[in-house]
């Protein structure tokens, strides 16, 4: 019984942290997927025989194997999403760096012209 409380509490805490930390920029689909994961996790903790039954229907020998497979797939999708976010951030950083460099050139050019016109 203690492990069930711990597991459900940990996923509830993770879900609360996920929804609190995004600042409203997270996609609705991601939130709905996360919510579905939370409900599935709680159901699996409260009714582990159900996981075994689903595993048997899907052709997996044990419920624990099914959980492992699902977690591997979830990790794969999470890794892909993180890579896409990183690539997007790298593009944004490059754009900002270019804009900053061009702005510095404009400022330096304007400062030189100002010095020449006062001389």
pLDDT tens digits, one per residue of 48-70: 999 999 889 888 889 988 889 88
Neighbours of 110 (CB within 10 A): 10
- pLDDT for 20 beyond 70: no
Question: What is the Cα 116 distance to its own chain's centre?
Answer: 53
Say what the pLDDT of residue 25 is: 59
Distance CA 1, CA 11 (A): 16
Say what the pLDDT of residue 35 is: 85
Model pLDDT for residues 72-110, shown as the tens digit of each residue:
888 887 888 788 889 889 999 999 999 999 999 989 888
Residue that the structure tokens 């690539």 belong to:
87
Long-range contacts of 19-24 (CB under 8 A, 24+ apart): none
Q: Considering only CA atoms, give the Rg of the chain.
A: 26
């Amino acid at each position: 019984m203690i492990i069930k409380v711990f597991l459900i509490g940990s996923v509830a805490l993770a879900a609360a942290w996920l929804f609190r930390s995004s600042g409203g920029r997270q996609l609705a689909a991601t939130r709905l997927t996360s919510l579905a994961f939370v409900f599935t996790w709680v159901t699996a903790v409260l009714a582990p025989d159900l996981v075994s039954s689903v595993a048997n229907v899907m052709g997996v020998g044990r419920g624990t194997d099914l959980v492992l497979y699902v977690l591997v797939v979830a990790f794969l999708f999470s890794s892909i999403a993180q890579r896409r976010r990183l690539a997007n951030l790298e593009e944004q950083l490059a754009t900002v760096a270019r804009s900053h460099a061009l702005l510095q050139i404009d400022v330096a050019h304007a400062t030189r012209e100002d010095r020449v016109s006062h001389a």
